[in-house]
Amino acid sequence: MPAPMMDTYAPPDLVFDHGKGARLVTEGGDKYLDFISGIAVNCLGHAHPKAVAALQDQSEKLWHLSNMFKVPAGIELAKKLTEATFADRVFFTNSGAEAIECAIKTARRYHFINGRPDRYRIITFTGAFHGRTYGAINAGGNPKYLEGFGPAMEGFDQVEFGDHDALKAAITEETAAILIEPVQGEGGVRAVPESCLRGIRELADEHGLLVIYDEVQCGAGRTGKLFAYQWVDGAEPDIMASAKGIGGGFPMGACLATEAAAQGMVVGTHGSTYGGGPLAMAVGNVVFDELTAEGFLDQVVDVANFMNQQLQGLADRHADKIEEVRGKGLLIGLQLKEGYNPKQLAGLARNRHLLIGAAGDNVARMAPPLIITRDDASEAVSILDEALSELPEAG
């Protein structure tokens, strides 16, 4: 009999039954230290008591309404998000790809209603990842994700990551926006230098373009600021996509925009059946309140700095296998030397009950829950130490 599910994923033979904090527990009772958290999603860890209570409470009142009716918790969360960021307006989605779709539509619509419908092209960067919908795979431009899905969609121009001159040269009369992840996740956990983000902002202002940040992975406290762009002065976006961490594990995303950038998104221009529903908004408010609670992000920065120091030590001990430690905050990449395979490293770590992931550019990726302690970080690093010692050269 064929397997009932499509073969789009290849999970290991391991089934988790429940979780608590940074630990996952199998059906058989084996505990694993979760340093990937659903790929940067479960920022408060598993089964956070306040998130569980909010979801339980809401689940007994009202699950779904559609946006035909007001959802007060959504208005409240949008208010919090706009007060805490560059944005004035929010559209809630269920996922990151949908937040990106909304961001692209918002940018094009802005030029459309300003009398420039010809300005629709979006500049993106090599190594980008923006999700798996048609718009998002074309924005991401990864040939692996585009192959076999028909002709490439018009309207995206990709330039080399970090090549400011190429970016300048790619701007034309038809350019609407520049779309970038302040820290690339999937592409290999690469933080964009602050000067580049400022350079992008300046170029955009000079040419009347909008800047769109994809903070689906690097946002929601992951880098130690509520959003990664907030580390950089003078590089605010016009539009930003958020998801993953902002729902803490409940499917949710958001497209944020300034008043000016959002001016084209009027009644009837966009929609979502589930986006901004009562369950997601109940959890989203709890996640936001926790992330912005006094001291929470300071603790993220502290544990991230500690982890980084430990990993630098690890990189010294395994200088033959580790190229560099990269990323920002608790979005961490260990780039392996050529000839070593990060998926194999993740497998060896998993054998020792540590869960990590892989990313592009030969990088082992870690995105632990933001609530980890220094002890959790030490434990993860000592497991990685053993796994690296065992890691063979890939055949």
Residues that bind ligand PLP (CB under 6 A): 95-97, 100, 129-131, 181, 185-186, 214, 216-217, 243-244
The least CB distance from residue 192 to ligand PLP, in Å, is: 12
Can you read off the two tokens belonging to residue 155?
Answer: 């309207």
Q: What whole-number distance in Å separates Cα of residue 35 and Cα of residue 130?
A: 22
Residue closer to ligand PLP by CB (options 218, 381) is 218
Q: What whole-number distance in Å separates Cα of residue 160 and Cα of residue 238?
A: 22
Residue closer to ligand PLP by CB (options 119, 249) is 249
Residue closer to ligand PLP by CB (options 167, 179) is 179
Residue closer to ligand PLP by CB (options 39, 84) is 39
- Residue number of the CB atom closest to ligand PLP: 96
Return the biggest CA–CA distance within the chain: 62
Alpha-helical regions (H) of the chain? 37-40, 49-59, 72-84, 96-113, 134-140, 143-146, 164-170, 194-207, 278-291, 296-317, 342-351, 374-390
Residues 6+ apart with CB under 8 A from 152: 138, 146
The dihedral built from the CA positions of residue 310, 312, 317 and 322, taken in this order, carries a sign that is positive
* DSSP annotation string for 145-195: HHTTSSSPPSSEEEE-TT-HHHHHHH--TTEEEEEE-SEESTTTSEEPPHH
Q: What whole-number distance in Å separates Cα of residue 7 and Cα of residue 314?
A: 36
The least CB distance from residue 385 to ligand PLP, in Å, is: 28
Residue closer to ligand PLP by CB (options 254, 372) is 254
The least CB distance from residue 361 to ligand PLP, in Å, is: 15
Q: What whole-number distance in Å separates Cα of residue 204 and Cα of residue 136?
A: 21
The least CB distance from residue 273 to ligand PLP, in Å, is: 16
The least CB distance from residue 276 to ligand PLP, in Å, is: 15
Can you read off the two tokens belonging to residue 71?
Answer: 């959802």
The least CB distance from residue 25 to ligand PLP, in Å, is: 25
Residue closer to ligand PLP by CB (options 132, 168) is 132
The least CB distance from residue 29 to ligand PLP, in Å, is: 31
Report the DSSP pairing between strands 89-93 and 253-257.
antiparallel
Residue closer to ligand PLP by CB (options 106, 310) is 106
